[in-house]
Amino acid sequence: MRLLKIIGKRFSRNRLSVIGAVIVLLLITVSLLAPFISPYDPTAIDVYNVLSPPGKSHLLGTDDLGRDLLSRIIWGSRVSLKVGFVAVGIAIMIGIVIGSVAGFYGRRVDAILMRFVDIMLAFPTFFLILAVIAILEPNIFTIMAVIGVTSWMDVARLVRAEFLTLKERDFVDAARAIGINNTRLIFRHILPNALSPVFVAATFGVGGAILIESGLSFLGLGVQPPDPSWGNILTAGKDNIEIAWWLSLYPGLAILITVLSYNLVGEGLRDALDPRLWEAERD
């Protein structure tokens, strides 16, 4: 508990990170409350108000089918949130298993698994993702899975590095001495000590996953219309680029602010969790 307090104190010292955290909470609230706060039905077509600029009745204007942009952006935040968290969840699980097994067992196992990581890293990420999507049906579930399966490598490397130092420590010998099996030793004893870089990577990962999702949806390979996602609203923005600037500006701002907030939180967490900076706090 004391540790949490210290971390909280260190985190709150970074003003920008606190602002980021507040915006993240706000965005989560907005996406949970989407049905209640969005002024219009995000898929309701209104042929009399096609591409109307921002104004009183439509705060951020409408798209090429007369759908309210603000409502679509609010509902789109659900997509980003879901994709961000699920994709990162998948990436972390794979990364933790591969990283801890490689770090714990070392030698051949380590060499083989890390080669695998190198191979995965050699593919331009977007190429690999696109290839898988070409095979499967492009929808939100595919996207989550594909982003998760192609972005675990950093986590694996971080966890492995932690394991390499942690397994030499006395508590590991102590646990071995009382006859604990390896699985329990890895996941119950060593892993909890290796998690802080994972938390940081996860926070940055959410932002990254949101960026990739919006890019894929923009290309028409992600969330399919009429379901709104920030990326596919921008596709409409591109199609109407010469007449409707608002369709390009606002969804992108939403992406920028969201990703920026997650990155700021990640930065704050990194500083707050850095044990090298703790020594001074203890006195």
Phi, psi of 62 (to 5 degrees): -130, 165
Question: Is 206 a residue that touches other proteins (CB under 8 A)?
Answer: no
Query: What residue type is assigned to position 137 of the chain?
Result: E
User: Which of 93, 121, 174, 277 touches other proteins (CB under 8 A)?
Assistant: 121
Stretch that binds other proteins, among 54-62, 156-164, 167-175, 262-270 (CB under 8 A): 262-270
Give the C-alpha separation, 257 to 24, whole Å: 9
User: Which of 49, 248, 271, 278 touches other proteins (CB under 8 A)?
Assistant: 248
Give the C-alpha separation, 34 to 78, whole Å: 8
Closest CB to other proteins among residues 256, 277 = 256
With 0-12 / 13-18 / 19 or more C-beta atoms within 10 angstroms meaning exposed / middle / buried, residue 57 is exposed
The position carrying tokens 């042929």 is 47
Question: Is 192 a residue that touches other proteins (CB under 8 A)?
Answer: no
User: Which of 147, 159, 234, 265 touches other proteins (CB under 8 A)?
Assistant: 234
| Closest-CA residue to 214 (of 229, 192, 197) | 229
Question: Is 264 a residue that touches other proteins (CB under 8 A)?
Answer: yes
Closest CB to other proteins among residues 145, 195 = 145
Q: CB of residue 89 vs other proteins: minimum separation in angstroms?
A: 21
213 and 226 Cβ atoms separated by less than 8 Å: no
The position carrying tokens 């540790």 is 3
Stretch that binds other proteins, among 43-51, 77-85, 176-184, 244-252 (CB under 8 A): 244-252
User: Which of 22, 28, 93, 119 touches other proteins (CB under 8 A)?
Assistant: 119
Question: Is 135 a residue that touches other proteins (CB under 8 A)?
Answer: yes
Question: Is 180 a residue that touches other proteins (CB under 8 A)?
Answer: no
Give the C-alpha separation, 222 to 216, whole Å: 5
Question: Is 54 a residue that touches other proteins (CB under 8 A)?
Answer: no
| Closest-CA residue to 202 (of 265, 146, 143) | 265
Question: Is 237 a residue that touches other proteins (CB under 8 A)?
Answer: yes
| Closest-CA residue to 85 (of 213, 220, 256, 222) | 213
Query: What residue type is assigned to position 40 of the chain?
Result: Y
User: Which of 6, 128, 161, 164 touches other proteins (CB under 8 A)?
Assistant: 128
Q: Binders of other proteins: how many residues, by CB under 8 A?
A: 45
Closest CB to other proteins among residues 186, 237 = 237
User: How many CA within 13 A on the CB side of residue 173?
Assistant: 4
Question: Is 242 a residue that touches other proteins (CB under 8 A)?
Answer: yes
| Closest-CA residue to 269 (of 161, 196, 216, 211) | 196
Closest CB to other proteins among residues 242, 283 = 242
Q: Name the residues that contact other proteins, by CB under 8 A.
A: 115-116, 118-128, 130-136, 207, 211, 214-215, 218-221, 234, 237-238, 241-242, 245, 248-249, 251-252, 255-256, 259-260, 263-264, 267
